[in-house]
């Protein structure tokens, strides 16, 4: 009996430590919150050489690279005024008790890229969980909510990771294309 109790305590302590580490990973998201609207907001102005038309074309190349069907994303494509806007989507997942990855829904968001001489600004905002009705995901930030679910932290982590990847690929693809000359 003592052996069973000792083994149970050791197993429980390992499970608790694993749960803490898993929770730390899920809680390690650092979502940027707009102080005025209290919405999740990824936004930055990036200095890049080129006129608005050139930067617009580079952004269109990126949209075609990043999204499977970019034409379904666009709500505004305005080369003259230097603006692209659309509605992106990304799936989120959770793991069940058996470790299977299951679909938890689709997050919709607004993406906007604006262009001026030698700079552009990207904005990602209005994150909502799509369903019968759309609900803002900012409610997942409130751990005091009576409906709080620990899976929310995992979902927020997925959103943050996806948006970090999106912004880093955008910045990389917006850099000027190097023209290689064939010197033989």
Tell me if 103 is assigned to some domain: yes
> What contacts 57, CB < 8 A, 6 or more positions away?
none
- Taking Cα atoms as reference points, which of 121, 120, 123 lies closest to residue 87? 123
Which CATH number is 92's domain given?
A: 3.30.530.80
Tell me if 152 is assigned to some domain: yes
Tell me if 91 is assigned to some domain: yes
Q: Count of domains in the chain?
A: 1
Domain range holding 41?
Answer: 31-173
126 backbone φψ class: left, alpha, beta (φ>0; ψ -120 to 50): left
pLDDT of residue 59: 97
> Hey, what are 7's tokens?
């083994």
pLDDT of residue 23: 40
pLDDT of residue 30: 80
- Segment-wise mean pLDDT, segments of 10 residues, the chain, 184 residues: 40 38 47 94 96 96 95 95 97 92 95 97 96 87 91 95 97 88 76
pLDDT of residue 175: 92
Tell me if 5 is assigned to some domain: no
């Amino acid at each position: 009996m003592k052996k069973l109790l000792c083994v149970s305590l050791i197993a429980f302590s390992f499970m608790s430590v694993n749960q803490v580490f898993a929770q730390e990973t899920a809680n390690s998201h650092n979502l940027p919150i707009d102080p005025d609207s209290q919405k999740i907001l990824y936004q930055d102005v990036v200095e890049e050489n080129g006129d608005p038309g050139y930067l617009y074309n580079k952004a269109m190349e990126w949209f075609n690279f990043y999204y499977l069907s970019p034409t379904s994303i666009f709500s505004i494509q305005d080369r003259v005024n230097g603006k692209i806007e659309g509605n992106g989507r990304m799936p989120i997942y959770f793991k069940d008790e058996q470790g299977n990855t299951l679909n938890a829904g689709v997050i919709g968001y607004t993406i906007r890229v604006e262009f001026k001489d030698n700079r552009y600004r990207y904005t990602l905002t209005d994150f909502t969980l799509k369903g019968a009705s759309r609900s803002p995901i900012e409610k997942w930030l409130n751990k005091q909510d009576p409906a709080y679910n620990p899976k929310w932290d995992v979902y927020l982590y997925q959103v943050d990771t996806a948006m970090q990847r999106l912004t880093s690929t955008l910045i990389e693809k917006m850099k000027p294309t190097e023209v290689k000359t064939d010197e033989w």
